Amino acid sequence: MFDKGVVKLSNTSAIKEYAEMYAKMYNLVPSDSLNFAVAQVITLATENVANKNQIMMDLIKTKDSAKIQKSIDDLFEALTDVEEWLTLGLPLRTQAGRTVKSFGMKTEQGIEGKTVEEITGMTPAEKLLLLLKYLSYK
């Protein structure tokens, strides 16, 4: 019933820390179910990025610029979903995101060793690569 990879990911310290912070922000009770849901969301989001990237790579061979541009837009949207996950569902374009940044607040969860300014200046792809690197060392 459950994907073993998602179950394994849901038991990592990085996911547990992320879920705990998410629970605090959204007034939820931390639980194994929340850990699993968090792991499932990032798994689906990253699989979607991989699928959209493959579609784009296949379309590049066709040299159909309209279809290629559409696939780039789709890939960007998929990367934005991952970016939203990385920012705990709090896009920097929201009032809360701007407030956090304006007060210079330090986040309790993030990509290890990076400041808020460094993270907000990164592309979604860069954030994903750093997150995956971070998770691989956990």
- How many residues in the chain? 138
* Residue range 58-89, pLDDT digits in tens: 998 998 889 988 998 898 888 888 877 777 65
Planar angle of CA 92, 137, 123, nearest 5 degrees: 30
pTM exceeding 0.85: no
Q: Is 52 helix (H, G, I), strand (E, B) or coil?
A: helix
Crossing angle, helix 13-25 and helix 32-60, to 10 degrees? 110
Q: What is the DSSP letter of 48?
A: H
- Amino acid symbol at 16: K
Distance of alpha carbon 105 from alpha carbon 29, whole angstroms: 24
Low-confidence ranges of the chain (pLDDT < 70): 1-2, 88-117, 119-120, 130-138
Contact criterion met (CB below 8 Å) for 87 and 97: yes
